[in-house]
Amino acid sequence: MVIQHTGEAVAQPVAEFDDLTIEYPAEDGEPLAESDFQLIPLTYAVAAIRAHYADREDIYVGGNMLLYYRMNLPQFSVAPDVFMVAGARGNHRRRSWFTWREGAASAFVMEIASDTTWRHDGAGKRAIYAEIGVTEYWRFDPTGEYFSPALIGEQLVDGVYQPIEVTEDTDGILRGHSDTLGLDICVLPDLELRLYDHVEEEWLLNYDEERDARQAAELQTQAERDARRTAEERIRELEALLRAQDGSSS
């Protein structure tokens, strides 16, 4: 058969069994992200999608993890910046993803452009994702330096990627809908990546917003606790006053 690897066709025999003696590295030696421009949207997307599907055991969300897609051929791997697998065998932690062992490949992939990766994201990686059946492939340019618009979405149709409509609304927000995630993928005018839930009509929170919301909830809980304690003390005072009045009148 012919296998795609970094854009080159290489003839390889079909493996008949999973050789468990073969070592598959859990790291490729590449940094998690080249700069904050890549790191911030990567960590936001992974954390937000994980939180969104936290109650789904059959959905796995990962980031910058080696995905092996050819049994017994560890040289055939790809590391998506953000990916989601539907039909996963549990959402427990993993070191790497093996498509033949898991029984599923990614349904959703996003690559975040950098100076050294954006060309390969649009060519070699795109071909690999089509080959292994990634349903949706999204590319995001956090700097606006590599492609325009800064958000590109594609859906696999009969083995070929077709564009997903991305529009700009009246607020200058780029918006494309991911059927796979059930979320809108958005890019704000300042090139911040955000995810929007139409069902709940709310943005998926980033770390700072989640922290602020948690602190606000804690303050609200404390305020309610203090108010309840004050009310209980007032009731005790009134009860004591009534008992004193009853005693003096008898």
- 2-13 confidence digits (pLDDT tens): 333 443 433 445
3-state secondary structure of 11: strand
Which amino acid appears at position 145 of this protein? E
Contact 137, 180 (CB under 8 A): no
Q: How many CA atoms lie within 13 A of 145 on its CB side?
A: 11
Segment 196-214, tens digit of pLDDT? 999 999 999 987 777 666 6
3-state secondary structure of 203: strand
**Whether residue 25 has pLDDT greater than 80:** yes
Alpha-carbon span 185 to 127, nearest angstrom: 22
- 2-204 CATH pick, 1.10.10, 2.60.40, 3.90.1570, 2.60.120: 3.90.1570
pLDDT tier for residue 34 given thresholds of 50, 70 and 90 = confident
Contact 87, 135 (CB under 8 A): no
Contact 81, 64 (CB under 8 A): yes
The confidence score (pLDDT) of residue 250 equals 60
The confidence score (pLDDT) of residue 6 equals 40
* Nearest Cα residue to 3 out of 132, 12, 106: 12
Q: Across residues 48-65, what is the average pLDDT?
A: 95
The confidence score (pLDDT) of residue 11 equals 42
Alpha-carbon span 28 to 95, nearest angstrom: 12
The confidence score (pLDDT) of residue 2 equals 31
The confidence score (pLDDT) of residue 27 equals 86
